[in-house]
Structure 1
Amino acid sequence: MRLLILVLCSLLTLGQVAQAQVRPFDDIVASGALRVAVYENFPPYSFQQDGQPRGVDVELAQKLADSQGLKLELLWIAAGEKLDDDLRNFIWKGHYLRPEVLADVMLRVPYDRNYAFKRNELGELVNERVVMFAPYQRECWQVAHDTRRLKEVPSVAVFGYHPIGVELESVPSFYMSSVFGGRMSRNTRHYPSPPQAFAAMREGKVDAVMAMRGEIDWLLHEAHDPQLKAAANAYPEMGRQQWDIGMAVHESNRQLAYALEGGLEELIGSGELAAIYARYGLRYEVPELYEGEVQAQTHGE
């Protein structure tokens, strides 16, 4: 029994040593580096090409670090089953495989009041230890089509007759399989990722692809094929069709959030952020929170 108690105490001590620690703003500045969490293998937002980090989130992270006079330290993360898991693992608690490592800030987090104040079945806030702030991109759903087989997309109803590729277990997957009483489900093809669905379109296996606008813009940009085009249509019965993407920090690190928000306002107002998106072939739409900032810059205020 005494040996068992000693072993349990040792394990508890190790757990305390490995416990992740949130770095206060002063400690971040003193370290000389800003640790930013970005998703791995997620083009055009964050990925590696020829061994070098690339993507709009990677370039934004560098600009944010520059705005604070810090070096950038990227923390590449794999997406969990839910965003709540990612916030827990990399912002406030730590992942069980590397519990001592936390990011100072995480990118590509929904800037949504309902999500930020979501409660569990006990009525407790799910993300009470997280502050979500600074929306930097407006995202929406987009269809791309091959005009050689589908000249135009006047309505999503055409996919009752033309096959369309979607990512497995995604919003487009559910939508195309269920809208209009499921009439398009027989023509909905599922793939592990948007790039694979896009490749299937180029091979003639499907006539169109539906994914996030940023992903579609990037894939069209990389394809260099004028016969592949983005459709201009809405999605009946879908509900919310656009949303803002922002950042997240630990709730105790609001000083860092204020500093980064100031840096982001300058990037948006100067047009630098839009230029980053343009380099990857992406359309940039300013989030509602910062529309006034852009208007002020435009009028020289």
Structure 2
Amino acid sequence: MLRNKLAALLIPLLTGLLACEQAFARLYDDVMASGYIRMGVYKDFPPYSFMRDGEPAGVDVEIAQRVAKAFDLELQLHWITPDENLEDDLRNNVWKGHYLDKDEENPLAMKHLADVMLRVPYDKAYAYKQDSLGYLINEQVVMKAPYQQERWQVAYDSKKLEAVRTVAVFQYEPIGVEVDSVPAFYFTSAMGGRMRNMTHHYASPRLAFEAMQQGKVAAVMAMQSEIDWLLGQAGSAQYRLAENGFPTMGKQTWDIGIAIRQTDRQLGYAVEEVLDRMIRDGEMAELFAAYGLRYTKPEFYQVMAEGSAAN
């Protein structure tokens, strides 16, 4: 009798859990059979993914469009609002979902998850990062298929600075950075903190750039593509690219790739083939150039090119 009562309680629970798993774990065959693919891109993140004249735009949006077209699928964009860190973004948008994003018909299931997430830093050390007990922090996701190399870049106002040959100039001239970013940490801590008082914090690189246009700061630091985009939008030779590096900063270039659920590597391989073709035939570089951005191939392709040149 007790066994029957336990079974009666457990069966609905197990059924609900299975439905929950099936609700958000769309495997390769499910994606192809559904007629659409859901690609995750960051919200309000020009020049990568943003709305322009009421339509989605940006290099990542166009990459998503090309992936969907290669599979003859409809594209559904999954707009990602960034959380506190990348681990949260991966959990909320790739493998688990946010606890507030429920499906009304199945309260145990998450309503929306991306089949593929774009603009994920591709770093093996991070991918295999362990917690204090030795468990993989990102064991539920696979990060792969690097399609771009990104780096930090400074732009400056030539009416305020003749050149930026060294970051030491920002002991005396103000620079704008995005709050809680790597540049923010760098300029408030490097050189014994001597640039801290000249570091001005803004909610976004765009607002920092606007502050430079208003004469409030002499320079701005952000990611290379963001700076390229902002310079292009400004359309003035007054604002220029600095050519200096950033001593003691650590990693100054990194690859950008995709993330998929650990259970669906097949979809990841398929997307990787599309991105690889785009890189090799020059389509990726052309896409970036159309937005006025410089394009750098990921490290893997650079190493291959160097090897071919050596032979």
Task: Provide TM-score, normalisation by structure 2.
Answer: 0.89
| Shift, 1:291, TM fit | 3.5
Q: Secondary structure at the match of 2:24?
A: coil
1:27 matched to 2:30? yes
- Which residue is equivalent to 1:42? 45
Partner of 1:57: 60
| Secondary structure of 1:127's aligned partner | coil
- Structure 2 regions of 5+ residues with no counterpart? 1-7, 102-109
Superposition map of 1:88-103 within 5 A: 88-98=91-101, 99-103=110-114
How far 1:12 moved relative to its partner? 9.0
- Partner of residue 257, structure 1: 268
Alpha-carbon displacement from aligned partner over 1:106-125 (angstroms, at most 9, x marks no partner): 00111100000011111110
2:192 is equivalent to residue 189 of structure 1 = no
Answer whether contact 1:24 1:253 (CA < 8 A) is retained. yes
Q: Contact between 1:18 and 1:100, CA under 8 Å: does it hold in 2? A: no
Alpha-carbon contact 1:153-1:233 (below 8 Å) kept: yes
Answering whether residue 234 of structure 2 is matched by residue 223 of structure 1, we say: yes
Q: How much is the aligned-residue C-alpha RMSD, in angstroms?
A: 2.4
From the superposition, tell whether residues 162 and 115 of structure 1 become closer, same or farther in structure 2 (CA, over 3 Å).
same
Q: Secondary structure at the match of 1:259?
A: helix
Which structure 2 residues correspond to residues 209-248 of structure 1 after superposition, within 5 A?
Answer: 209-248=220-259
User: More deviation in 90-99 or 38-47?
Assistant: 90-99
Does the CA contact (< 8 Å) of 1:142 and 1:231 recur in 2?
yes
Return the alpha-carbon distance in structure 2 between the equivalents of residues 41 and 297 of structure 1: 40
SS at match of 1:252: helix
- Deviation, 1:245, is 0.5
1:177 alignment partner in structure 2 = 188
User: Contact 1:268 / 1:293 at 8 angstroms: preserved in 2?
Assistant: no
Cα separation, 2, equivalents of 1:15 and 1:199 = 50
Summarize deviations over 1:276-301 as a string: whole Å, max 9, x none: 11111110000122347778999xxx
Q: Name 1:81's counterpart in structure 2.
A: 84
The one-letter code matched in structure 1 to 2:207 is Q
Report the counterpart of residue 3 of structure 1 in structure 2.
none
Determine which of 72, 81, 85 is the counterpart of 2:75. 72
- Correspondences of 1:281-300 after superposition (within 5 Å): 281-291=292-302
SS at match of 1:253: helix
Aligned partner of 2:131 among 96, 115, 120: 120
Quote the sequence identity (%).
54
* Separation in 2, partners of 1:201, 1:151: 15
Aligned equivalents of 1:265 and 1:88: distance in 2?
Answer: 26
Aligned residues: 294
Does 2:147 correspond to 1:132? no
Structure 1 residue ranges, 4+ long, deviating more than 6 angstroms after superposition:
9-16, 292-298
- What are the superposed Cα offsets for residues 239-277 of structure 1, whole Å, 9 maximum, x if unpaired? 111100000111111111111111111111111111111
